[in-house]
Homo-oligomer: A and B are copies of this chain.
Amino acid sequence: MNATARLDRTLAALADPHRRQVVELLRERPRRAGELAEAAGLSPPAMSRHLRTLRASGLVEERHDGFDARVRVYRLTPAPMTELTEWLRETEEMWADQLSAFRKHMLARGDAA
């Protein structure tokens, strides 16, 4: 999968408020699927699908609990967000350059910055 498609999936995954809530919960600590469903006020099937989407985007990973194999524990995997952060940084950097060039232009004209 190329970088564009990965950014697509990452952004689409984070565009849903329930999934973003999951990320916020998982950034504190790993949690069980059922715990996430309850915290988000969603039915288990609904949460299961969100978790599938998050898994497909690479934002979270699933593990089986050591004691009770029915339980699935989800945890954050930061790589996709790092890639997104990098894209945003480049965009903002470019904009900052553009802005400073604009200011320089204005100063050269004698206008106030």
> Which A positions have Cβ atoms within 8 angstroms of B?
4, 7-8, 11-12, 14-17, 20, 23-24, 27-29, 76, 78, 81-82, 84-85, 88-89, 91-92, 94-95, 98
Which of B7, B12, B88, B91 interacts with A88 by CB under 8 Å? Answer: B88
| Contact in complex: A92, B88 (CB < 8 Å) | no
- By a CB distance below 8 angstroms, the chain B residues around A16 are 8
| Contact in complex: B23, A91 (CB < 8 Å) | yes
For the residues of A in contact with B, the DSSP-based class is helix
Known A-B contacts A88-B84, A92-B85; the reply to A8 vs B17 at CB < 8 A is yes
Known A-B contacts A15-B12, A28-B94, A95-B27; the reply to A85 vs B82 at CB < 8 A is no
- By a CB distance below 8 angstroms, the chain B residues around A15 are 8, 11-12, 15
- By a CB distance below 8 angstroms, the chain B residues around A11 are 11-12, 14-15, 20
- Give Cα A78–Cα B82 distance, bound, in whole angstroms: 19
| Contact in complex: A88, B95 (CB < 8 Å) | no
